Amino acid sequence: MAELLAPAPDFSGWTCPAPLRDQPRIVMGHGGGGTLSSELVEHVFAPAFGSPELSGFPDSAVLRLGGARLAFSTDSFVVRPLFFPGGSIGDLAVNGTVNDLAMSGAVPAFLSCAFLLEEGVELETVARVAEAIGAAARAAGVRVATGDTKVVESGHGDGVYVNTAGIGLVPDGVDIRPDRAVPGDVVIVSGPIGLHGVAVMSVREGLEFGVRIESDCAPLGGLVAAMLAVTPDLHVLRDPTRGGVAAALNEIAASSSVGVLLQERALPVPPEVANACALLGLDPLYVANEGKLVAFVPREHADAVLAAMLAHPLGAGARIIGECVDAHPGMVVARTAFGATRVVDRPLGEQLPRIC
């Protein structure tokens, strides 16, 4: 029976979507959260699933079920190494999904946790990751409600991969979406940027920067709740993970068809991040964060929201970094310290693969 030996289906009718034609294979950048990732979602996943809303860069979906308004999100985690200064893949797996829920204004409530393990990995390593997940879940106020474990043969995996999905409850009156930014909105970042990416890279590459740089990995549900207590009318929230602040702002500018004007001098770049980036030829605007958010806030509420952020431990370094403008819709522009302007492009992929 020849057909038993021929599992591959008939692919003869397939046509590669036009924007992807010069790259018929997956490259690292397709997982980088930049333009390549978006093209894959927009031209492959969203049409195949019949879910055009996936192209709109949402951190989480907001949906109504049984009378409740819920946020729903998922992320897989493939960071190397599994443990790094300031956190681990377990911390990322909880906080990454919790923060995606919080960026819809939701109160994170439940997580699923799926392990994809490689045959031969030490049970102790798995246990340590699980303990980190449990501790991070308790700190974030969420419960791991369901899970799964799959094992692949040695050489077909990479130790430990983790996927989490999360559900949260969106409070009445809250409508935070990447397409709600309007000219006049004030852009606030919740604290110093670039720490997570530099921390992971430092241990991966064995680099010494003269100081210990720790990941900022943290759950942002409490900070968002403090901001919403000032006003439910926050327009956009985003955690600038893969692709950094640059990718987050570009996605918002594109979704909302507005321009974003940054004041480069206002960007809170810690000296140790600036030094590491200078050494490596990186731009801190493109380095991942795992415990920060950018907020687009109506001007009349900006001072009060900033004050609430500054009063919260995870917003103590908050700064106004720019504003939303009519000019150059869809583009992010930075005014440099010398008064010139430069375009802050959307990254193609992630300059530091596998940082989350």
Q: Per CB under 8 A, which of residues 314..353 are in contact with a copy of itself? A: 353
The reply to whether 275 sits near a copy of itself by the rule CB under 8 A is: no
Q: Give the x/- contact pattern for a copy of itself in 161-200, rule: CB under 8 A.
A: x-x-x-x-x-------------------------------
Binding segment for a copy of itself (CB under 8 A), chosen from 25-33, 279-287, 305-313, 340-348, is 25-33
The reply to whether 277 sits near a copy of itself by the rule CB under 8 A is: no
Cα separations in angstroms, 36 against 212, 293, 347, 350: 33, 23, 9, 10
Among the listed residues 42, 34, 39, 41, the one whose alpha carbon sits nearest the alpha carbon of residue 348: 34
The reply to whether 118 sits near a copy of itself by the rule CB under 8 A is: yes
Minimum Å gap between C-beta 329 and a copy of itself is: 26
Residues between 27 and 46 with contacts to a copy of itself, criterion CB under 8 A = 27-32, 37, 40-41, 44-45
The reply to whether 51 sits near a copy of itself by the rule CB under 8 A is: yes
Nearer to a copy of itself, 78 or 277 (CB): 78
The reply to whether 208 sits near a copy of itself by the rule CB under 8 A is: yes
The answer for residues whose C-beta is within 8 angstroms of residue 120's C-beta and 6 or more apart is 154
Size of the site for a copy of itself (CB under 8 A): 110
DSSP 40-64: HIIIIIHHHHT-GGGGG--SSEEEE
Binding segment for a copy of itself (CB under 8 A), chosen from 53-61, 226-234, 263-271, 322-330, is 53-61
The reply to whether 229 sits near a copy of itself by the rule CB under 8 A is: no
Residues between 62 and 91 with contacts to a copy of itself, criterion CB under 8 A = 63, 65-70, 72-78, 81, 83-85, 88
Lookup: tokens for 6? 């021929």
One-letter amino acid identity for 248? Answer: A
Give Cα 34 to chain centroid, integer Å.
11
- Three-class SS of 249-305: HHHHHHHHCCEEEEEHHHCCCCHHHHHHHHHHCCCHHHCCCCCCCEEEECHHHHHHH
* Tally of residues, the chain: 356
